[in-house]
């Protein structure tokens, strides 16, 4: 009995250290967001201080409120995620299951698009969007986001489809279910976890994107990542406001994360539990 207790304590300690490394920056940001600019710079750093809500008031209601930018981020990330999943799920299924000419090559091609450093694509994208009149529009930026979200989602989903025993599908086909029926009723429920994981990662990537948004966006489409940057001016960095903005920007992501946690864990372990498919 004591032995297992020790074991548990040791495990908790190790886990605690691991979690602390992750939590510290977030906690620090959270504390900073309640400090005055003066307390932010205090040395040695203060842990006890008179908290203020001024930073939040400023980033929510102030002249440079980030609320419209949170909305921008939400629209962009949601549109990107919906379109990506709509295309990626059937595409991944096709790549994972169907036989068609040039299958290997098309799979490889999807991957190739990920091999270019994104920074090299900014100028071509700018010129293309300019020609289409799509600079600083939701449509334009969503299409650009698809270019990195789709390949990522397809390749992630392929692994989930490949993990499903072929027999399940064959059984359904034998029962005279069509391809689409099989996909909908038999296959998709099996990869629910995978879909959840992929959806969240795609959403997160779009939500956190900065580089394309800052160049290809503008006054109309300005996600929160870009808006927050404006608290870092040439005159001074308003750390407390950056922190308050960051906390607000994290909030939706954390909520979605908590909501989908069950699926994520399931998604990550599904292969292991079921003994895997062909791998």
Q: Which residues bind other proteins (CB under 8 A)?
A: 36-38, 41-43, 63-64, 123, 126-127, 130, 135-136, 214-215, 218-219, 226, 229-237
CB of 70 to other proteins, least distance (A): 17
> Is the Cβ of residue 4 or residue 219 nearer to other proteins in the bound state?
219
Beta carbon of residue 116, minimum distance to other proteins (angstroms, whole number): 18
Start-end of H helices in the chain: 2-33, 37-40, 54-61, 67-97, 103-112, 122-132, 138-162, 166-174, 179-181, 188-190, 192-208, 211-216, 224-229, 239-273
Q: Which is closer to other proteins, CB of 8 or CB of 57? A: 57
Q: How far is the CB of 136 from other proteins (least distance, A)?
A: 8
Q: Find the angle CA(80)-CA(243)-CA(137) to the nearest 5 degrees.
A: 30
CA 264 to each of CA 186, 255, 276: distance values in angstroms, whole numbers, following the listed order = 20, 14, 17
Query: Least separation, in Å, of the C-beta of 53 and other proteins?
Result: 15
Residue 232 β-bridge partners: 237
Give the nearer residue to other proteins in terms of CB position, either 71 or 185.
71
Instruction: Give whichever of 63 and 174 is closer to other proteins, judged by the CB atom.
Output: 63
């Amino acid at each position: 009995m004591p032995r297992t207790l020790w074991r548990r304590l040791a495990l908790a300690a190790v886990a605690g250290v691991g979690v602390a490394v992750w939590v510290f920056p977030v906690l620090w940001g959270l504390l900073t967001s309640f400090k005055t600019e003066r307390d932010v710079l205090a040395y040695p750093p203060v842990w006890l201080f008179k908290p203020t809500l001024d930073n939040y008031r400023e980033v929510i209601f102030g002249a440079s409120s980030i609320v419209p930018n949170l909305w921008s981020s939400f629209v962009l990330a949601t549109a990107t995620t919906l379109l990506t999943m709509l295309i990626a799920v059937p595409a991944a299924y096709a790549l994972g299951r169907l036989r068609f000419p040039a299958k290997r090559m098309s799979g490889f091609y999807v991957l190739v698009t990920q091999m270019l450093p994104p920074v090299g694509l900014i100028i071509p994208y700018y010129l293309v969007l300019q020609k289409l009149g799509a600079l600083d529009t939701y449509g334009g930026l969503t299409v650009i986001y698809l270019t990195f979200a789709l390949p990522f989602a397809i390749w992630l989903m392929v692994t989930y489809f490949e993990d499903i025993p072929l027999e399940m599908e064959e059984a359904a086909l034998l029962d005279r279910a069509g391809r689409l029926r099989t996909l909908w009723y038999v296959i998709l429920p099996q990869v629910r976890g995978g879909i959840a994981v992929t959806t969240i990662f795609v959403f997160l990537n779009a939500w956190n994107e900065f580089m394309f948004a800052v160049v290809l966006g503008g006054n109309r489409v300005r996600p929160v990542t870009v808006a927050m940057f404006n608290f870092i001016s040439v005159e001074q960095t308003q750390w407390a406001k950056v922190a308050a903005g960051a906390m607000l920007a994290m909030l939706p992501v954390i909520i979605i994360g908590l909501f989908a946690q069950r699926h994520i864990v399931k998604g990550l372990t599904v292969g292991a539990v079921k003994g895997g498919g062909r791998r």
